[in-house]
Structures are given as structure tokens and as C-alpha cells.
Amino acid sequence: MPSITAIKGRIVYNSRGSKTIEIDVITDKKFFGRASAPSGASVGKQEAQSFPDDNPKKALELFTTNSKKFIGLDPADPKIIFDVLRSIDNTERYTKIGGAIAYALSIAAIDSAAKSLDVPIFKLLKPRKPYKFPFPLGNILGGGAHAGPGTPDIQEFLVCPIGAESIIEALEINFEMHKELGKVIESIDKRFTYGRGDEGAWAPNVNNDQALELIDKAIKNCGFSLGKEISLGIDLASSSLWNEKKKEYGYVRQGIKRNTQEQIDFANDLIKKYNLIYLEDPVHEEDFESMAAITKRNPKCLVTGDDILVTNTSRVKEAARSKSCSGAILKVNQTGTLYDSMKFADACTINNIKIITSHRSGESSDAHIAHIAIATDSKMLKSGVIGGERIAKLNELLRLREYDLIEGMADLSTA
Ligand code: PEP
Ligand code: MG
């Protein structure tokens, strides 16, 4: 059995230049694992709290004081890491030690275990075939909490290369779409600065409707047809739009307000008009009932919960009971540890809710989520299109193709 022999944490910076936690785990004195925690901008209320009192230093101090407790543990067993962490912080949202520690520690441990056992991480988490590649779901245009004034209220306009027969082709379709969309934006706005939001998506000075028209044009320019090579998705990130006091969704940049029924109608219309295969958080994070209405009405679209589920096993069980979602975002740092996330994935699978493993808007250049997507049989990996911290995950998918030859890992054609 491999055994953790050294462990160390430090403060580093994420893609937004904000402080985060990085942890190194060494197994059997020589196998080095490392991970640093990502962070969100549109954060669900029930997510694990990144740092105690918003203070990374306090998180690191508590971790360092307790780090000896992890020495001698098996890094390949996410449950053991979870149990010891829980003996230090048993609060529901990791408010004492912080979700950033939970993330970085549990992922660094599995990273180090994989090296010591000389197997890829995905195989440690899911020992048996079949393995399938997720479709890359890429953010090409965005606004909301990820970009500045003048951009759309809608947080993410996403593309999914449904017609691709290999992961390489899939990535290339997304790159082509991103590039072409940049040209289309420039053609209507000579002062376009090539500005991009937190996730690398274009952040032009347009409203929601104009954004969709531009994307439609870019699809045509590329010679693609909607529903053939490519399909569209949207993350409405509705909790960021919701005003609890007024009970309405404020599309402030476009000057529109929608009550709950109007928001449901808007979501249904978007799915119909653009043949969306994916719609994330169409209503705010406590509205399981409206989610259920949208899910029921649109059986061909993955009506997906992000802020509403926060990678929380109890919440996804509740969503299964109320038939609120057909898709579930899996973000390890929303729930804390890798173990928490694998439990969540099991609950999704049992209830036939499709998993979409996802990055955060504030990311590291780590690639671990590519493995987590494969290990959880994720339908999609949502990790942007452009930007070093996004490409890191996509390039890892390409590297994992090399297991094709020896493992029989299915490429997209059979996924
Ligand atoms: C999202 O809302 O799906 C997302 C990736 O953004 P963030 O990380 O800001 O929550
Ligand atoms: Mg989201």
C-alpha cells in the first residue's frame, strides 16, 4: 500500500490573480503530487466556503498545524483523506479549514498515488472499462459575473461539437468556432478590443439577443449546421440575476425584468429557438419546482443544475425526487473533497442524471478534472476553449488518447 510521507501547503495565485491554496503530497518519499484550488465568481450559497473568514492564511495555518495527521495514510483512498479532514473540520461547508484545503489536499493525494502506482488518475478512481471521452463544452461568448459592463447579462454561451468523431476533431471545432466568432464580432464592431472574460470567452459590447445572432452567423461562416456538427448550450447563472426581494430576474444590462413564469417561458423559448442541448441554471438556486417544469418540457435538452446542486449529494437526491434536472454540474471545490464529489457522481448515475464535470472561472493550470470527467463517465467536460488554464485540461484529454491503444478507451464516436 502506498503511504504519504510528506505534505506541504502554500499560498499561490489563480488565473484571476487571487490567492488560493496549493498542496504538495509526497508518497513513499518520491512520488510527488500537487494541486491548487480553483474558485468561482458566480458562487452558489450552499457551496463549500473557500477559506475561513475569507482568509487563505488562516486556512493554511490550520492545515499546517494538522498536516502530520495525513502522514502514513493511503493517498489512493479518497475516503481516508476525507475522514481525517472531517476529524479536523466537521462543518457542513468546510467553514473551519476551507474548501480550498479540502480540494487541494484530496486532489494532490490522488495525483501522488497515481504516480506511485504508475496508473493514470482516472483509472484509480474507476478501475474498470468502459472509459469514454466527455464532449468538450466550450464557452465562446460571455458576460454576467464573468465580464464587465456592456457585455450580455447571460453568463455563458457554449458550444458542444456533437458531430465530432474524435476528441481532436471536437477540440478543433470549438477552436474554429471561437476564432470565427471573434471575426464576426469585429465585423460589426470596429472598436472591438478582443476583450475576453474570466473563462476566455469573447466579452463584446452586445446584448443577449445580439450575442445569439453573432453566434448563429459564426456557425454558418464555419460551414456548420446547428444540430449536425455543433450544438449550443447556455449557462443563465440565474442566481446572479435573481432579486429575492422583488421576486424577479433582472437583466440589468438589457433593461429587462422577468418574473418566475416569464423566466421559465424565456428558458423554454431559448431551448426551442436555438435547439439547445444544454441549459444550466435556468432559474435561481432554490427553485427546484421551476427547474422541474423546464426539465419536463424539454426532454432532449440537458437541463442542468450548478448553483442549485452545488455538487451536493443531498441536493441532487432532492433534484432526483422532484425530477428537477437531467444534468448536473460536478465541481469538486463546490463540495470540498474528491470523496464528496465521487459520492455526488454516484448519486447522479443511480438517478440517471448526466454529469458535466466543470472548471471554475478562477482556475489553476492543473489538468486533474480531465481525469475526473472520465472517471465519472461525464457526458461533457466544461472547461472553456481558450486560455492556458483552460487548454491545460483539454490538452490532458489529448494525452489520455494514448491510452486508446492499450486500454481500449472509446473515442467520441462511441461515446
Ligand atoms: C459556472 O457558473 O458554471 C462557472 C464555471 O462559473 P463560476 O466558476 O464563476 O461559478
Ligand atoms: Mg454555472
Structure-block grid coordinates of residue 388: 492556458
Residue identifier of the C-alpha nearest atom 7 of ligand 1: 40
User: Using one digit for the tens of pLDDT, what is the confidence trace for 180-218?
Assistant: 999 999 999 999 999 999 999 999 999 999 999 999 999
Ligand 1 mutation pick, 235, 361, 382, max ligand atoms within 8 A of CB: 361
- Range of lowest pLDDT (22-36, 175-189, 396-410): 396-410
CA distance 85 to 97: 9
Do 135-406 and 4-118 have the same topology in CATH? no
Q: Residue range 400-408: average pLDDT?
A: 75
Q: Is 361 in the pocket of ligand 1 (CB under 6 A)?
A: yes
For ligand 1, atom 4, which residue shows the shortest CA distance?
A: 360
Asked whether 290 and 268 are in contact (CB, 8 A), the reply is no
Contact between residue 343 and residue 330 where contact means Cβ atoms under 8 Å apart: no
92 is catalytic: no
Ligand 1 pocket residue status of 42, Cβ below 6 Å:
yes
Burial class from Cβ neighbours inside 10 Å (0-12, 13-18, 19+) for residue 409 reads: buried
Q: Any catalytic annotation for residue 228?
A: no
235 lines ligand 1 (CB under 6 A): yes
| Distance of alpha carbon 209 from the chain centroid | 25
Q: What are phi and psi of 93, to 5 degrees?
A: -110, 25
**Beta carbon of 35 within 6 Å of any ligand 1 atom:** no
Q: Which CATH architecture has domain 4-118?
A: 2-Layer Sandwich (3.30)
C-beta of 356 in contact with ligand 1 (< 6 A): no
User: Are 48 and 335 contacting, i.e. CB atoms less than 8 angstroms apart?
Assistant: yes
Residue range 135-406 forms a domain whose CATH class is: alpha beta
Which ligand lies nearest to the CA atom of residue 332 in the structure?
A: 1
Q: Please tell me the distance between residue 64's alpha carbon and the centre of ligand 2 in angstroms.
A: 32
DSSP notation for 133-176: PPEEEEEEEE-GGGS-TTS-SSSEEEEE-TT-SSHHHHHHHHHH
Closest ligand 1 atom to Cα of 361: 8
For range 110-131, the mean pLDDT:
95
Least confident piece of the model among 143-147, 236-240, 402-406: 402-406
**% residues pLDDT > 90 (the chain):** 95
The H-or-E segment that residue 342 falls in is: helix 338-350
What is the best residue among 358, 383, 393 to mutate for testing ligand 1's pocket, by most ligand atoms within 8 Å of CB?
358
Q: What is the mean pLDDT of the chain?
A: 96
Q: Which residues share a beta bridge with 256? A: 251
The cell for 292 is: 422541474
Going from the C-alpha of 44 to that of each of 53, 92, 208, 333, 334, the distances in angstroms are: 17, 14, 23, 11, 8
Is the pLDDT confidence value at 168 over 60?
Answer: yes
**Given the residues 156, 180, 199, 389, the one annotated as active site:** 199
Residues 27-84: tens digit of each pLDDT: 999 999 999 999 999 999 999 999 999 999 999 999 999 999 999 999 999 999 999 9
Residue written as grid cell 492564511: 57
| Residues 238-277 pLDDT 10s | 999 999 999 999 999 999 999 999 999 999 999 999 999 9
pLDDT above 70 (res 220): yes
**pLDDT band at residue 415, thresholds of 50, 70 and 90?**
very low
pLDDT at 129: 87
Q: How many residues does the chain have?
A: 415
pLDDT of residue 406: 63
pLDDT, position 315: 98
Taking the model in full, what pTM does it have? Answer: 0.97
Residue-range domain boundaries for the chain:
4-118, 135-406
| Ligand number, closest to the Cα atom of 144 | 1
pLDDT for residue 281 is more than 70 = yes
Contact of 102 with 88, CB cutoff 8 Å:
no
